[in-house]
Amino acid sequence: MSIIRERLEKIHDRIARAARRVGRDPDGVRLVAVSKRVAPEIIHEAFLAGQILFGENYLQEATEKKKILDQGICWHGIGHLQSNKAAPAVATFDLIETVDRIKIARALQSKLTGQSRLLPVLIQVNIGKESQKSGVLPSVVDVLVEGAVSCENLQVMGLMVIPPYCDNPEEARPYFRATRELALRLGERGLLGQDGQIELSMGMSSDFEVAVEEGATLVRVGTALFGNRG
């Protein structure tokens, strides 16, 4: 069995156990394989092992990989986006997790206007209010979500966060919990999700089990699947 297949099974097992600990259905959590700086052959190997959803940080890298890789792959944009790159972003990604200002939402919308295509997006929230980090501040997330919802070709499915770096994954728990509470509040206002289903993209290699316990529906895992990035 390939090492990638083995690691995939382990990660799925850990997700399932974390979900069951809190009475969640493991099928409610999807793994986003974060493949930045991972060679296309390795991505292909993961695809053959059943992984369909991949996350890429860098638009150009993602565009090149998409050209040569399998049609069946679903690509999530998880990196910081520039509004002047909206056209290639829309062409490359199936879902964009990092809408963090109205300018980006409007730039994406402008590339989709007149098409029947709906682009699912997540709103990236700077849940730890860190000065150097991307993401909209929690205090003004409502305004951004309202603005994004008014873009007719965008489907605002939920929130994405990268909490402050912690040595102990337990320290991330309050941030994950705060994110879920924020999403529920926005959901109650009818601003997030589709048919009551709200996406919460949170948790990485070091803390995805805690994120699943706190309600993550998407976990973004790179290192635990592909090994250390060179």
Ligand X SMILES: *Cc1c(COP(=O)(O)O)cnc(C)c1O
* Residue the block writes with tokens 């009551």: 196
222 binds ligand X (CB under 6 A): yes
* Residue 196 buriedness (CB in 10 A; 0-12 / 13-18 / 19+): exposed
Total number of residues binding ligand X (CB under 6 A)?
13
DSSP assignment letter at 220: E
Pick from 18, 204, 211, 216 the residue near ligand X by CB under 6 A: 204
155 binds ligand X (CB under 6 A): no
Q: How far apart are CA 176 and CA 181, in angstroms?
A: 9
96 binds ligand X (CB under 6 A): no
For the CB of residue 59, give the shortest distance to ligand X in the complex, in Å.
Answer: 13
The region of 102-110, 126-134, 163-171, 222-230 touching ligand X under the rule CB under 6 A is 222-230
108 binds ligand X (CB under 6 A): no
221 binds ligand X (CB under 6 A): yes
Beta strands per DSSP E along the chain: 30-34, 53-56, 74-77, 95-99, 119-125, 154-161, 199-201, 218-221
205 binds ligand X (CB under 6 A): yes
Tokens of 110: 């402008």
For the CB of residue 110, give the shortest distance to ligand X in the complex, in Å.
Answer: 25
Sites for ligand X among residues 45-84 (CB under 6 A): 57, 78
Task: Output 83 or 205, the one with its CB closest to ligand X.
Answer: 205
For 20-68, the DSSP string reads HHTT--GGG-EEEEE-TT--HHHHHHHHHTT--EEEES-HHHHHHHHHH
Residues that bind ligand X (CB under 6 A): 34, 36, 57, 78, 162, 204-206, 220-224
